[in-house]
Structure 1
Amino acid sequence: MTTSLFADDEHDGTYCCLGCRQTIGRTYFPPNGKWGLKKACACVVAENEAREKEQERKLRRAKMERIYAKSIMNEALQKATFHNFIQRPGTEAVCKASADFVRSFEGRTTGLLMYGKAGNGKSHLAASINHELNRRGWVCLFLDVPQLFNLAKDTNRKDSKTSLTDIISGAIAADLLTLDELGSGYLTEYEFNDILFPIINGRQGKPTNFTTNLDLGRLANWFEKDKNGAPLDTDGRIYDRILGSTDIYENQGTSKRREDAIKRANGGRQ
């Protein structure tokens, strides 16, 4: 930059961007009788767009923190990272897929569906993804499914300052939503029609990660009927949407929790 951008000489203030090396000239503005920039270079445009995007994310994050103020991730998952995940036989593919997911997140439209035995690290990897993308500035929301249902039901209380619409719109608005423990317990008609379906349907085209202890056949059955055997999703509306919007990985690792318990029982020996 040389002199003021509003100097009287049309060449004063003309500059070359050190980023893209584009020379930015000036043009005369008759209304105020001043010279100003003809246009912003690509660097300035990109910088302004990035600033606007970050501001929009801050607003969404603040709104989400208000809506989900009662959501609590347990201490172990709060500390979960890729670095403290212990790879064991059978976890290699899902671990690599999780790391690749983070690297390729921008522009992704599909999430991950990780299934396998309880305690083998699915939630740890899902939480690690959540934390890393949060650290990089994305707006991420991690909820286990029973917790989501409880938060939604709490909106029916007279003193609730959050509505069911807030819960659903907040989950849809996240850059990444993680639903942990899908298939836990039994679905009710209310949970299916008023909570789960609107969220999953609303997030079509946006990445959503799922973890479940159920294999694909049992997961399909979980959606079909409620606790009393009444039909819920016999047409497979949610199941079909989940399969169509995720890359599916079976975590074939054994339960780390059980292995640790056996180790403690043996006085620290395997």
Structure 2
Amino acid sequence: MKSFREALKKGANTNTDSKITNQYKCPGCGEIVKEFTTVIAIGPSKGKTVSSKIGCDCPVYEIVKQEQKEADQARMKRIFKDYSLVNKSLEQANFKTFDQLKFPEAFKTAVDFVKEFDLKQPSNLFFQGTFGTGKSHLSISISKALVARGYSSIFISIPKLLTKIRGTYNNHSEVTEEQLVKALYAADLVVFDDIGAEGDLNGWSAQKLFELLDQRSGKHNVFTTNLQSDDFEATRDRARLFSRIMENTTPVIMNGSDYRKRHFLKEGKESV
């Protein structure tokens, strides 16, 4: 038995009870869509007018688009997991778990960065402040939020990154320096966390970090550091690095008491 859709196609040309009421090009699939009204000629519904359309593949298009979206999101999560170097204390960090009352402006800046994220208009954030104020917490929250939106993002602890690069010089390394650098270059966002924490931001480490930042020029980046501006001017290597970091970058200052200590002491008081 022929389907109603097939009969309708035939009826469009031969059945005087059917007529085209509208015709347009579907913006989704690009096919020409014809809308019909048909008067049923026989059966229990004889005389009833029904509306239908033919020529649109959007139901199939939407299914394919949804499957592609899910595949892309899975790939972005895999990139984050495979290449990010995250301290264990940050694995559960996100915007919801951040104490925004302490640094409301920094929190708003981070949230707005995610909302306004546009690959065609790259920009950077630079979180600077004392130890334990939540700079890394906000940065990884940005990274995770963008992954959830379908962007590729990598969160890199600089001390771990430099150790990882040194490890690639070993023949038994699971990843080459070239693979790591390519992944960092390709990501929509890279968070460079804890710049200067390794204590030796000179020589090889400064040069290697400068090369990575140079490759990331024109892309979105987030930086965090405990160093003060004077620390970045202490040597020529640091000054050159700081100059590159501050290109198209919004500074966010977060000085205050140690976030982790406050949280620890709060839990201690509540348990007494």
CA deviation after TM superposition for structure 1 residue 152, in Å? 0.3
Q: Which has the larger radius of gyration?
A: 2
Aligned to 1:187: 201
Q: Which moved more, 1:141-150 or 1:246-255?
A: 246-255
Counterparts in 2 of 1:59 and 1:134: CA distance versus 1, 3 Å: closer
Show structure 1 runs of 5+ residues with no match. 27-36, 225-230
Give the alignment's TM-score, normalised by structure 1: 0.71
Q: 2:237 aligns with which of 220, 232, 250?
A: 232
Q: For 1:209, what is the secondary structure of its paired residue?
A: strand
Secondary structure at 1:141 match in 2: strand
Aligned CA distance change for structure 1 residues 99 and 237 (closer, same or farther; 3 Å): same
CA 1:56–1:132: 2 relative to 1, 3 Å: closer
Q: Give the whole-Å Cα distance in 2 for the aligned partners of 1:47 and 1:177.
A: 31
Is 1:134 matched up with 2:147? yes
Does 2:95 match 1:82? yes
Count of residues paired in the alignment: 240
Q: 1:102 to 1:142 in 2, by over 3 A?
A: same
Alignment counterpart, residue 116 of structure 1, candidates 95, 115, 129: 129
Distance in 1 (alpha carbons) for counterparts of 2:126 and 2:117: 15
1:153 and 2:161 matched: no
User: Runs (4+) of structure 1 moved beyond 6 Å?
Assistant: 46-61
TM-superposed CA distance for 1:74, in Å, is 3.0
> Shift of the alpha carbon at 1:76?
3.1
* Aligned residue in 1 for 2:215: 202
Contact 2:79/2:152 (8 A) holds in 1? no
Shift of 1:72: 4.3
* TM-score (norm. length: structure 2): 0.70
Say which SS state the counterpart of residue 97 (structure 2) adopts: coil
Q: Relative to 1, partners in 2 of residues 1:19 and 1:93: Cα closer, same or farther, differing over 3 Å? A: same
1:252 equivalenced with 2:255 (yes/no): yes
Structure 1 residues 263 and 161, CA gap change in structure 2 (3 angstroms):
closer
Moved more, 136-145 or 212-221: 212-221
- The alpha-carbon deviation at position 192 of structure 1 amounts to 2.2
C-alpha displacement of 1:254: 2.3
Matches within 5 A, 1:259-270: 259-263=262-266
What amino acid is the match of 1:219? F
Q: CA RMSD in A?
A: 4.2
- SS of equivalent residue, structure 2 residue 237: coil
- 8 Å contact from structure 2 (residues 76, 152) kept in 1: yes
1:74 to 1:205, Cα distance in 2 relative to 1, 3 A: same
Native 8 Å contact 1:64 1:170 kept in 2:
no
**Secondary structure of the equivalent of 1:232?**
helix
Identity %: 26
Give, in whole Å, the separation in 2 of the partners of 1:118 and 1:207: 24
